[in-house]
Every structure is written in structure tokens, then in C-alpha cells.
Structure 1
């Protein structure tokens, strides 16, 4: 018995620490009977009218569901007109009972009235009682599990239905024992309590204001009572923690400001510098330039960080510098056909060939002949003349040579073209054999297309040698 009371006190202490819990006192009247079997005639059974009273805790789980443990003093028992010697004709047993009901509460209208419907188990401990057997009254009942004894503990289930009016509640109650509380000396029938009754109760406290979502903001002040939130957002969620409730936040997953409806300060140009700090909000830039692009001081389209000549306009392919002029002749390398040799604009940036050198090469060219009119074999005199050209080119390593071969008119012109190209190539081959780089010599056969004399003059069969720097 002490353990049962201690358990309820401990349970009450824990539960009552929850702010929503309410404590009630209750009491009521009921009729108790005992479920048993023959040999008792059913018409002779009479119920026992008794009282019950105690304390109840109401622990809400939600707006509609509560757990209601209680501790009650309860009269139970029965009477019968069948006098016998193997079972009492009257049993009045008193218990300390602990029901544990799960209660559904359905609001009725807009006030505080609710319909109640609940059920649950109970356990009880016998504390006193009286029996009459064979006309003899006994108020010192023998506890135990043997014949003629009463069990110290009983258990079963409860059911209830009724109404709650704010702090007052009224219910109809039913309970059924699931255990034989008594063992007869004369037969093996069941002895189980059954109780019908009514209860009225009064809650001693109102309970703390309701806070369904447990966010610390009471429901009547909570604009989102079913979703945990913060006091700053009036009880509504604020996923990004910016102090603006998600329901009002156009960017609920990004911290922002009220000025922008919960969104971050915009960054119109997407450069990572927000518009309020960006001096160039419509043009992508860098934070170190306050949101503006890297400057281009010389306006050449190459920003100063990549421009090796930031104060002089240039080109990207030269890292922002002007087109170079390697030979410093005033003609840039892209227009200078001789970028490493100083020259003149009239000669495309190349030096002029001295007249003296030109005359020497022209004189050598006049002596270049072949063994016959259509042959491609140089004469000995031609080789000596070309040796002079080799000397000139070795003395002037930057100079280049153009070899053009011509012939007289007549015959098949395609053959003439092939023959003159072959003669020009023979001259080049001789010079290369003497150590002149192929890249310094170009050749061209013109057939009879460029005569220097009329008719079939042999003067037209010739080799022209021209010096140049391009």
C-alpha cells in the first residue's frame, strides 16, 4: 500500500513539473457488483452502493488527448440473499485504486466545453473490508491466495464518458476487474469486481497557458501554434535565423533583412559585392575595387593587373603593351618585313641594298649560263660567277637572294616554264651546296613571259639575281 502511494506521489511530482498539468479533486457515487457463477441464483444478487474520492492529474499530450492518472479511495463489493457455508452472502471491500486513463477531448462550440471519452487500466490495493458468511459478520478479512482469502491487489480496466466545463468535469464511469479478488472455499467460480458510477471533479489550478509546439510562446500569442518558432518571430519558424518569420520571408533559407523582405542585400551584377557596398552595382567587379572591374588605365581593353604597360595603350597579345619595334626603326614588328634590321618605311622596314652590292650580283648573274640552250647543267664559268655571290652572301648574313630564270619565246610554254624553274633550282642547289641556307634563297621560273628584248633574242635566255632583306 505504501509503495502504491509513494509511486503516485513520485509520478505526480514529475508530471506536475510540466507547466500544462492540472490537478483536480474528485468524488462520486457508484454501484458495485461481483461477477461470479452458479450456484448463486442471479435474481438474488444485489449491488453495493458506495463512494469514491481522490485526486486526479490531467497531463495533455495535445489539444485533444490527455493522460489522466488518479489515486482514489473506492468502495466495492456485493450482497446476496443466498445464505450458505462455502461463500459469503455479503462482501464489502475498500481499495486504494490507481486508474490510468487515456482521454480524448472533443471541443464543443467555441467555449471551454469538451466532450470526454477515455479508457485505461487500473491497479488497486485492498485496505479494509467486511464480510458476512452464514449470518456471521467478520471485519478482519484474511489476505492471501488460498480458499476463503482476499487478494491484497486487484487489477482491471476503466472506461469513462462525460463533459468538461472549464475547471469542472462530470463523467459516467465503468470498471471491470480482470482478477479474482476472492477465492471461495466451496467452488471454483469467478469473483471479479464490476462498477458503474458517476464522478464530479474540480481542477485546482488552471495550468500554464497552452503552448502546443513547445517553443516558449503561448498559443494565444503564437501566430504559428503548431510549428516551433521564436519569440522574435511571434512563435513562427525562422529557418535562416534572420528574425523574419518564414511565412513572411521571401528567402526563408537565406538570412536577409526586413528591407529586402527577408532576402539578402541584392548583388545585381553577381560579383559577390552587395549593391549597398558596390560602387559599380551593374557591372561585375572585385571587392578590392569596391565592386568595380579591375581598372584599365590606358583604355586598351587589358586590365591593369594583366597589363605590363598599364599607362600605354597596347594589345592583349602583347600583354597590354604596344606592338614592339625590335630594330627601333619606327616600324612595328607586325608591319616590318625585317623586324631585326633597322630599315626604312619605303622599303617595308628593311634596309636598302647598297647599289655597289647590287651591281656586283648583277654582274655575276650575267655570267651564269648552261651547257646548252635547254640544259640545266651549269658551266664552269657560271660556277665561278656564283662563287662570287656566295662570298657576298657570307659577308652579309642578313641579306637574301632571289633567283629568277627566263628563256626565249617559242616552243611549248609549259615546257619553257618547267625548264626555267629547273634552272633557277639548279642555281639555288649550287649555292646551298656552298653553304648558303636554303631559307635565304627563293626561286622562280618565268618561261618566256618576261622578255628584255624583242623576238627570239638570246638576251631573253638569262638568270636574274636580286639581293634584298625581305
Structure 2
């Protein structure tokens, strides 16, 4: 409930600030290419091979002039899809090589999608139509999914994703409290979940853009600083208390977005 109140407050501030004479309200939409940075201690596993995953972003933004020399602030309230794709071809190749087999063919995908409501606060320097921006972002997870459809052939035999998974799509849930391992398995089964991730994320944005009349196009990069791995209750979790620190996952996103600012 507190997260919903915070997001409604942010939306209210964005809409109310627009009443000032030189502040303009805009709508924004675009595409994300996201991946996940992994830093995993060897005792907790190996870092997976991943690829970029496409996603969407859309929402509202403001342009708030800060000075006459071209500086402004552009806060926003966005829906943003992040996540990553597993490089299943390389994973199968390595797995089969350990068994003395050779991967003959592979096609398909396995993707993890994490959905966020995001609050970017970019500071912008404008030079004629050209724009440079940087600033922090704060994001709140609202769920996601793992989807897959792949086929691998080796030694004349074919393995499909349906041979491994009983469903084409699994839900992923954002959590905001430490996970109690005693109830973890029941929680996952009862909610039909594939995995969970830490709901709150934060990081920095930077990029370049161009504005002509009321239209703006931006090419940006988001560098996540928060660890997506959930917090586990150290007193109840079977692994040691350093697991969260030893299994680090951070969002990385390249985005191309378009915005339209309404006349004030």
C-alpha cells in the first residue's frame, strides 16, 4: 500500500508541477534492450551466458527549466521492461561437450522479463536541438515472467523446451521483504512462480538526445546499482548469510525513446 501511495504521489507531483508557466508535460515511449550483470562467487554457482532481451517503456515526463543557459530537469513516471535472455545455445554446447557430444543445431529462446514502474530524474543540458542528460532512477518491481521455446539437436536426438518445463510461461514475483526459506517452497508453488526478485532497484541514466519543435528522441543507457537478488532471512535461510552478497545481479539497459511535449 505504501508503494502505491508513493507512486500516486509522484504522479500527482508530475501533473501539478506542470501548472507552472514554463514547465511542459510530455508523453514518452520506446524500446529497451536489456541484460543482467552477474557477479557470482564460485561457491554459489557459475555466471550464466546471457544475451540482450527486447522490451518496452512508456509513460509521462516533464521538462522543467532550471536556468536560461540551457539546463533543465526532466523527471518521469514510466513503465519499463527489463531482464535478459539466456544464451541457451552456448549452455547446451558446454553441457554436451562435457558428455563427449556435439551440438548439431539449436533454435529458440529462453527469456526473463522483469517489469518495473520507474522514476527517472534526468538533468539535461541543451545546446540548440542537441541534448545531453544524466541522473538517477528509482524503480519498483511489479512482477514479470520467464518464457521459453527452444529445440536442440545432438547425436541425432532432439530436446525441446517442453521436455524440461511443463509450462511455456512462468510468473516471476517482486518481493520487498527478506525471504523466509521455511515457507519459500510453498510460496513458490502456491503462487505458480518460477522465481522472485528484489522489488526495489536504483541506478543512473545517461545519454544523448535531440529535440525539434515538440518532439524529442533519446538514446540512453541505464546502469543499475541495486542487487536484484532478494534478501534472505539469515536466521531461517539454509545457506549462509552472505548469499545475497555473493550472488549479485544488476540491471543494464540500452534504450531508444521518443517523446512529445504538449504546448503549455
Cα separation, 2, equivalents of 1:118 and 1:33: 22
- 2:262 matches 1:197: no
Cα separation, 2, equivalents of 1:172 and 1:142: 28
Is the Cα contact below 8 Å between 2:143 and 2:174 reproduced in 1? no
Structure 2, unaligned runs of 5 or more: 41-45, 96-109, 149-163, 182-194, 233-238
Q: 1:52 aligns with which of 54, 57, 61?
A: 57
Cα separation, 1, equivalents of 2:260 and 2:211: 10
With over 3 angstroms needed to count, the CA separation of the structure-2 counterparts of 1:90 and 1:183, relative to structure 1, is farther
Of structures 1 and 2, the one scoring higher in RCO (CA 8 A, sep 6+) is 2
Residue 91 of structure 1: how far off its partner (Å): 2.2
Q: 1:115 aligns with which of 130, 133, 138?
A: 130
Match of 1:129 in 2: 144
TM-score normalised over the length of structure 2: 0.66
After superposition, what is the alpha-carbon deviation per residue over 1:119-177, rounded to whole angstroms, capped at 9, x for unaligned? 11111111121136974642152624437632221111111201110100111011011
With over 3 angstroms needed to count, the CA separation of the structure-2 counterparts of 1:17 and 1:142, relative to structure 1, is closer
TM-score normalised over the length of structure 1: 0.38
Q: Who wins on radius of gyration, i.e. which is larger? A: 1
- 2:213 matches 1:166: yes
Is the Cα contact below 8 Å between 1:29 and 1:52 reproduced in 2? yes
Report which of the two has the higher share of strand.
2
Q: Secondary structure at the match of 2:7?
A: helix
Cα separation, 2, equivalents of 1:24 and 1:132: 33
Q: Secondary structure at the match of 1:7?
A: helix
With over 3 angstroms needed to count, the CA separation of the structure-2 counterparts of 1:3 and 1:56, relative to structure 1, is same
Cα separation, 2, equivalents of 1:92 and 1:140: 8
- 2:75 matches 1:69: yes
Cα separation, 2, equivalents of 1:45 and 1:76: 13
Is the Cα contact below 8 Å between 1:170 and 1:201 reproduced in 2? yes
Residue 181 of structure 1: how far off its partner (Å): 1.5
Size of the alignment, in residue pairs? 194
With over 3 angstroms needed to count, the CA separation of the structure-2 counterparts of 1:189 and 1:132, relative to structure 1, is farther
Q: Secondary structure at the match of 1:190?
A: strand
